[in-house]
Chain A
Amino acid sequence: MGKPFQVLNHAIPRLESMEKATGKIAYTADLDAHGAAAAIVLRSPHSCARVLQIDCSEAEKVPGFLGCLLPCEVPDILYNPSGNPPAELLLADARILTENPRYIGDRIVCVAAETDEACRMAAQKVKIRYEVHAPLLTLKDAMAEGARPIQPHLSASNIVKRRNVSQGSPDQKGEVLLSGHFSTPSMQHVPIEPTCCICDFSDGKNLTVYSNSQTVFQERRIVSELLGLKENDVRFIKPAVGGGFGARQQLHSQPVIALMSKKLGRPVRLVYTREEEFTATAVRLGTEIDIEVGANRDGVLQYLSAYYLANIGPYTIHGPTIVAGASRKIQYRIPNYFFDGYSILTNDICGGAFRGYGNTQLTFGREIMLDRMAQKLGMDPLEFRLKNHVKVGEHFPCVDAPVTSCAIEECARRAMEIRTRIDVEEHLTFDEEVRQAWGVAFACHGSGPSSREGLSSAIVMLNDDGTARILVGSADIGQGSETMLSQIAAETLGLSLSDVRIKAADTLLTPYDTGTFASSQTFVCGNAVALACRDARAKLLKQLMETVPEAVVTEEDDGFLISSGDKREHLSVQQAVRRVAFHQHGGVIIGCGSYKAQASPSPFVVCMAKVEYRPKLNTVRLLHIIEAADVGTPINRLSVEGQLEGGIAQGVGYALFERMERNPRAQKTVSTDLLHYRVPQAADMPKTHVVIADSYEPTGPHGAKSVGEVATVPVAPAIVNAVNRAAGTEIGTLPLCDRFVILPHSAERGPLS
Chain B
Amino acid sequence: MNHFPSSLSQATEYRDAIFAGGCTDLMPLFKNQVRDHRNLVFLTQIPELREIRREGPGVSIGASAILADVAESELILNHFPALAQAANAVASPQIRNIATMGGNIMQDRRCIYFNQSAGWRSSLPPCFKTGGDVCHQIPNSPVCRALYYSDVATALLVYDAQAEYWEKGALHCAPLRELIHRHCEANGTACRNRLNILVTRFFMDSPPKGERSGFYKYAMRTSIDFPLINFALRCGRSRSAKLVSGAAAPEPLILEHTAALLDHGAADDDILAACQAELKTLAMPIREACISPARKRDLYLQVFSLLSLREDCPKSTEL
Query: What are 7 inter-chain pairs, A to B, with CB distance below 8 A?
Result: A666-B123, A666-B124, A667-B123, A683-B221, A746-B222, A749-B305, A751-B216
Of the listed residues B116, B124, B220, the one surrounded by the most CB atoms of chain A closer than 10 A to its CB is B220
B112 touches A670 (CB 8 A): yes
Cβ–Cβ < 8 Å partners of A616 in chain B: 272, 301
Residues of A contacting B118 in the complex (Cβ-Cβ under 8 angstroms): 124
> Chain A, 660-690, contact with B by CB distance < 8 Å: what is the 0/1 string?
0101011110111111111011011000000
Please tell me which stretch of B170-178, B245-253, B287-295 contacts chain A, meaning at least 4 of its Cβ atoms lie within 8 angstroms of it: B287-295
A661 to chain B, nearest CB (A): 6
B223 touches A681 (CB 8 A): yes
Interface set, chain B 219-240, CB cutoff 8 A to A: 219-226
> When the two chains form their complex, are residues B120 and A675 in contact, meaning their CB atoms are under 8 A apart?
no
Whether A675 contacts B116 by the Cβ 8 Å rule is no
Q: Are B221 and A680 touching (Cβ within 8 A)?
A: yes
A45-B120, A665-B124 known; A744 and B298 CB under 8 Å?
A: no
**In the bound complex, how far is the Cα of B92 from the Cα of A674, in angstroms?**
14
Q: Interface 1/0s, chain A 683-713, versus B by CB < 8 A?
A: 1100000000000000000000000000000
Say yes or no: A737 contacts B295, CB within 8 Å: yes
Over the window 81-97 of chain B, the binary record of Cβ atoms lying under 8 Å from chain A Cβ atoms (1 yes, 0 no) is 11001000000000000
A399 at the interface (CB under 8 A from B): no
Q: Say whether B218 contacts A741, CB under 8 Å.
A: yes
Centre residue among B226, B290, B305 by max chain A CB count within 10 A:
B290
A671–B313 contact, CB under 8 A? no
**B289 with A741: CB separation less than 8 A:** no
Given that A750-B308, A751-B308 are contacting pairs, would A671 and B289 also be in contact in the complex, using a CB cutoff of 8 Å?
Answer: yes
Q: Does A752 contact B (CB under 8 A)?
A: yes
Q: Are B222 and A684 in contact (CB under 8 A)?
A: yes
Least CB distance, B142 to chain A, in whole angstroms: 18
CB-based contact B291/A737 at 8 Å: yes
Chain A residue nearest to B28 in the complex (CB): A673
How many Å lie between the Cα of A670 and that of B289 in the bound state? 8
Residues on B facing A (Cβ under 8 Å): 33, 81-82, 85, 112-113, 115-124, 136, 139, 214-216, 218-226, 272, 287, 289-292, 295, 298-299, 301-302, 304-306, 308-309, 313-314
Q: Which residues of B contact A657 (CB under 8 A)?
A: 220, 290
Residues of B contacting A741 in the complex (Cβ-Cβ under 8 angstroms): 218, 295, 298-299, 302
Distance (whole angstroms) from the CB of B231 to the closest CB of chain A: 9
**Assembled-state Cα–Cα distance A617/B307 (Å):** 14
CB atoms of A750 and B221 under 8 A apart:
no
On whether the beta carbons of B221 and A752 are closer than 8 Å, the reply is no
Which 6 residue pairs are nearest across A and B when measured between Cβ atoms?
A751-B214, A683-B222, A45-B123, A676-B289, A744-B222, A670-B112
**A737 and B112 in contact, given A683-B222, A684-B221 (Cβ under 8 angstroms):** no
- Whether A678 pairs with B290 at a CB distance below 8 angstroms is yes
Interface membership of A46, Cβ < 8 A: yes
The closest CB in chain A to the CB of B228 belongs to A741
Is there an interface contact between B124 and A617, defined as CB atoms closer than 8 Å?
no
- A618 to chain B minimum Cβ distance, whole angstroms, is 5
A676 to B305 alpha-carbon distance, docked (Å): 26
Given contacts A680-B221, A751-B308, contact A45 B122 (CB under 8 A): yes
Contacts of A659 in B (CB 8 A): 290
A747 interface contact, C-beta 8 A: yes
* In the complex, residue of chain A having the shortest beta-carbon distance to the beta carbon of B268: A616
Decide: B295 and A740 in contact? CB cutoff 8 A.
yes
A617-B308 in contact (CB<8A): no
Complex Cα distance A594/B124, Å?
A: 54
Report chain B residues within 8 Å CB of A329: none
* Cα–Cα distance between A681 and B113 once the two chains are bound (Å): 25
- With a CB–CB cut-off of 8 A, which chain A residues contact B216? 751
Docked complex Cα distance between A738 and B220 (Å) = 12
Given A45-B120, A671-B289, A678-B225, A751–B313 Cβ distance below 8 Å? yes
Assess whether A45 is in contact with B119, with CB atoms less than 8 Å apart: yes
Contact, CB under 8 Å: B220 / A617: no
Point out the residues of chain B lying under 8 angstroms from A663, CB to CB: 112, 287
Task: Write out the residue numbers on chain A whose beta carbons fall within 8 Å of the beta carbon of B139.
Answer: 665
- For the complex, give the distance between the alpha carbons of A727 and B287 in Å: 26
A634-679 residues at the B interface, CB under 8 angstroms: 656-657, 659, 661, 663, 665-668, 670-678
| Contact residues in B for A745 (Cβ distance below 8 Å) | 222
* Complex: chain A residue closest to B121, CB-CB: A45
Known: A661-B290, A738-B292. A672 touches B309 (CB 8 A): no
- Residue ID in chain A nearest B272 by CB atoms: A616
- A676 and B112 contact, CB distance less than 8 A: yes
Does A275 make an interface contact (CB < 8 A)?
yes
Q: Please measure, in the bound complex, the distance between the C-alpha atom of A748 and the C-alpha atom of B218, giving whole angstroms.
A: 10
User: CB distance A275 to B117 under 8 Å?
Assistant: yes
Q: Which residues of B contact A132 (CB under 8 A)?
A: 123
Given the complex, which residues of B lie within 8 Å of A42, measured CB to CB?
119
Task: Give the chain B neighbours of A54 by CB distance below 8 A.
Answer: none
- Closest partner residue, chain A, to B212 (CB atom): A751
Given contacts A657-B290, A738-B295, A751 and B124 within 8 Å (CB-CB): no
A578 within 8 A of B: no
Quote the shortest CB–CB distance from A676 to chain B (angstroms): 4
**A747-B85 Cα distance, complex, nearest whole Å:** 13
Contact of B81 among A665, A678, A739, A751 (CB under 8 A): A751
- Distance in angstroms from A55 CB to nearest chain B CB is 15
Out of A46, A666, A675, A740, name the residue touching B225 (CB < 8 Å). A675
Q: Point out the residues of chain B lying under 8 angstroms from A678, CB to CB.
A: 220-221, 225, 289-290
B124 nearest in chain A by CB position = A666
Contacting pair B117 A672 (CB below 8 A): yes
**Chain A residue with Cβ nearest B304:** A617
Evaluate contact between B222 and A747: CB separation under 8 angstroms: yes
Instruction: Given A751-B81, A752-B81, A752-B313, check contact A737 B136 (CB 8 Å).
Output: no
A143 on the interface (CB 8 Å rule)?
A: no
Chain B nearest CB from A151 CB (Å) reads: 22
Complex Cα distance, B122 from A641, in Å, reads: 45
| Closest CB in chain B relative to A377 CB, distance in Å | 34
- Asked, given contacts A617-B302, A663-B112, A665-B136, whether A43 binds B218 with beta carbons under 8 Å apart, the answer is no
**A738-B292, A752-B313 in contact; A617/B298 too (CB < 8 A)?**
yes
Q: What 1/0 mask marks residues of chain A from 106 to 133 whose CB sits below 8 Å from any chain B CB?
A: 0000000000000000001000000010
Q: Would you call B290 and A737 a contact (CB within 8 A)? A: yes
A751-B123 CB under 8 A given contacts A670-B112, A672-B117? no
Check A681 against B222 for contact (C-beta < 8 Å).
yes
Q: Are B289 and A661 in contact (CB under 8 A)?
A: yes
User: Are B226 and A675 in contact, with the CB atoms below 8 A?
Assistant: yes
Q: Are B223 and A683 in contact (CB under 8 A)?
A: yes
Q: Cβ of B309: which chain A residues have Cβ within 8 Å of it?
A: 751
Residues of A within 8 A of B290 (CB): 657, 659, 661, 676, 678, 737
Roughly how many angstroms separate A668 CA and B287 CA in the complex, as a whole number?
A: 14
Given contacts A665-B136, A744-B222, A751-B82, contact A43 B119 (CB under 8 A): yes
The distance in angstroms between the C-alpha atoms of A124 and B121, with both chains bound, is 13
When the two chains form their complex, are residues A681 and B221 in contact, meaning their CB atoms are under 8 A apart?
Answer: yes
- Flag whether A742 is at the interface (Cβ < 8 A): yes
Question: With a CB–CB cut-off of 8 A, which chain B residues contact A275?
Answer: 117, 119-120
A680 CB contacts on chain B under 8 angstroms: 221
Contacts of A750 in B (CB 8 A): 214, 305-306, 308, 313
A659 vs B289: C-alpha distance in the bound complex, in angstroms?
10
A742 and B287 contact, CB distance less than 8 A: no
- Report A-chain residues with C-beta under 8 Å of the C-beta of B223: 681, 683
Complex CA–CA separation, A377 to B19 (angstroms): 67
Q: Write out the residue numbers on chain A whose beta carbons fall within 8 Å of the beta carbon of B122.
A: 45
